[in-house]
Amino acid sequence: MKQILNQIGGAPCAGIAWFDKRNPATGRMFARVAEAGPAEVDRAVAAARASLAGSWGRSSTGERADLLIAIADGIERRFAEFLDAEVEDTGKPRSQASQVDIPRSIANFRNFAEAIRQHSTEYFEGGTPDGRGAIHLTQRRPIGVVAVLAPWNLPLLLLSWKVAPALACGNAVVCKPSEETPQTATLLAGVMRDAGVPDGVYSVVHGYGAGSAGELLCRHPDVDAITLTGESRTGTAVMKAAAEGTRAVSFELGGKNPSLVFADCDFDAALEGTVRSVFQNSGQICVGTERVYVERPIYARFVAALGKAAQSLKLGSPDDPRTAMGPLISEKHRRKVLAYYARARAEGATVIAGGGIPADMPTDLAEGAWVQPTIWTGLTEDSPVVREEIFGPCCHIAPFDNEDEVIARANDTEFGLAAALWTTNLSRAHRVATRLDAGIVWVNTWGHRDLRTPFGGTRRSGIGREGGRHSLEFYSELKDVCIKL
């Protein structure tokens, strides 16, 4: 049985207890994970603080950019190990982890190396009240010790999205990966050591959220800022902890993202994009679509085609190249998703595809957290199935009759992360994209992301933006140095 340890100040260590880690595809336990307690969290934060007082605190942006490249190279050298770990932790198809999770994580380190190299101090010349000149140098300084709380859906990718800019700006981080996906954050500690990142700059504490390592870390008085990707209600809890000490927060939270399919769309492209946006990563993607609105003239055809596509998705072993969809992350999450499936049935939804647990999984996968790709129609807009984030491979489809109506329905949500719209009418594309209340709007595509662009949501979907210079803004403090001439 594997043991997954905390990584504190450059060294592995146990904790106050052990928790089990199961493979979601098989349901089998394969590791014991060391849960960090107050002493481990204290030591990780102290090591981070000490690193800031040492050589790391005096490092130049060029040196840090070089280190980020060395980290990217280090992950690349151990690509197979990272891939195995991510697939074992999540059950996701190996093809997806090898094309998205691991390469995009590497890209994050390279991208932020570039971003920090290009960042320059601002220079202003200005008059002073006594008529003599002064110059101002507006610098970006590190915030200090940053707590990184990461989710389980894209474990290394979403962790690297925070760690890379935090290090680029000269901070030290203490990471709390999700209890469901402890491995790749732990492997990253080895890569950091080999790359020459000073001890204490990157530590990992394992455990749960409330009442465990996550909460201990957020409440630690020597943490200067907290960055979280997770559920909206976790954001609320973390914000309360951050209020003590008025610490800065950056939140990427939940969504209930709409997709608007107009009758003038390229039907095949809209169908293919919608299939990806609903079922990729088993629907466990924050920007995934859970509400589809289709203009009435093509509604029946679209429902039938999406239903057929859902039924033909192959569920199976992560190692089988034909597998299109993996399991959910855990039995606990499956219970949550199946409760929504049951609720949809109870409310009288028409089940176009799926709706339950697949009956025909092979014996070695029978205990995994599998659910069927599922599509409903016929629910009202006030149903919890249509309003709440499910985070599973499912969506509700409803018809609409005009632009104003569908925009109002798409915006009638407490979230505002992403939206997709499908139309060949250029004016409509601009009009509707502008009126949709979401941080990211895709037109005739879904999921495309340039790492330099702002990523984040409005309302309960988050606070702040990640990506390129937007991340650098969170992970640094501005400081103005005024020099009288």
Catalytic residues: 252, 286
For residue 359, the minimal CB distance to ligand NAD (Å) is: 27
CA distance 155 to 157: 6
Who contacts 130 (Cβ-Cβ below 8 Å, separation ≥6)?
none
Q: In this chain, which stretch among 105-113, 165-173, 427-435, 454-462 interacts with ligand NAD, using CB under 6 A?
A: 454-462
> For residue 416, what are its two tokens?
């505002």
> For residue 14, what are its two tokens?
């146990």
CA distance 234 to 254: 10
* Contacted by 171, from ligand NAD, ligand 6OD, none: CB < 5 to 8 Å by type: none
State which of positions 273-302 bind ligand 6OD (CB under 6 A).
285-287
- The binding track of 395-424 with respect to ligand NAD, each residue x by CB under 6 A or -, is ----------------------x-------
- Give 159: exposed, middle or buried? Use CB within 10 Å, 0-12, 13-18, 19+: buried
- The binding track of 215-234 with respect to ligand NAD, each residue x by CB under 6 A or -, is x--x---------xxxx--x
CA distance 380 to 368: 32
- The binding track of 254-273 with respect to ligand NAD, each residue x by CB under 6 A or -, is xx------------------
147-158 per-residue burial string, b: 16 or more CB within 10 A, e: under 16: bbbbbbbbbbbb
For residue 181, the minimal CB distance to ligand 6OD (Å) is: 13
Closer CB to ligand NAD, 44 or 417, in the complex: 417
Beta pairing partners, 400: 295
Closer CB to ligand NAD, 215 or 295, in the complex: 215
Which of 152, 279, 341, 474 is close enough to bind ligand NAD by CB under 6 A?
A: 152
CA distance 47 to 194: 18
Closer CB to ligand 6OD, 49 or 465, in the complex: 465
CA distance 256 to 289: 7
452 near ligand 6OD (CB under 6 A): no
3-state secondary structure of 258: strand
Q: Hey, how many other C-beta atoms are within 10 angstroms of the C-beta on 20?
A: 11
State which of positions 21-50 bind ligand NAD (CB under 6 A).
none
Q: Which residues bind ligand NAD (CB under 6 A)?
A: 149-153, 158, 176, 178-179, 208-210, 214-215, 218, 228-231, 234, 237-238, 252-255, 286, 389, 391, 417, 457, 461-462
